[in-house]
Amino acid sequence: MSCITWNCRGLGNVATVKELREIAKKFAPTVLCVVETQVNKARVEGLKDTLDYDNAFAVSSLGRSGGLGLYWNKNTKVEILPFSQYHIDSIISENGGEPWRFTCVYGEAQTTECHKTWDMLKFIKASSPLPWVCMGDFNESVA
């Protein structure tokens, strides 16, 4: 099982899609999450064949801000849980293995609103006893 999360800074660009395709081909992650897609849900989900995935789920950007996408293949079971413009929450199991929780995050960009991302993540963690992987762009700086 492998996961990659990439802040692509816009999937409306041919060069970015090419780079994403190369990443997907080279590393073949079981689950691929893209954040800051800056395009609508249909565009993100429409790239699944280009990226050689069987399934996709996306959250549209708000104009040129945000947007998330999650890709996986048929050997992997993904149950999409509640999501927002800032996250996709899911339960994943591969080949009948034990389920685990995966949350893909694109955090609040405004410094004064960052606490909302952390509050959301605390709520998600408290709501499930499953092992949890949380990846993404948290829009936070580490000093």
The answer to whether position 86 is within a domain reads yes
Grouping H, G, I as helix, E, B as strand and the rest as coil, residue 28 is coil
Q: How far, in Å, CA of 37 to CA of 107, rounded?
A: 13
The answer to whether position 30 is within a domain reads yes
Residue 68 maps to which CATH number? 3.60.10.10
The answer to whether position 143 is within a domain reads no
The answer to whether position 81 is within a domain reads yes
Residue with tokens 């995966």: 102
Per-residue pLDDT in tens (0 to 9) along the chain, 143 residues: 899 999 999 999 999 999 999 999 999 999 999 999 999 999 999 999 999 999 999 999 988 889 999 999 999 999 999 999 999 999 999 988 999 999 999 988 888 888 899 999 999 999 999 999 999 999 877 66
Q: Quote the number of domains for the chain.
A: 1
The answer to whether position 142 is within a domain reads no
The answer to whether position 65 is within a domain reads yes
The answer to whether position 113 is within a domain reads yes
- Distance (Å) of CA 133 to CA 32, 41, 46, 99: 13, 23, 26, 11
Q: What is the DSSP letter of 112?
A: G
The boundaries of the domain holding residue 111 are 3-137
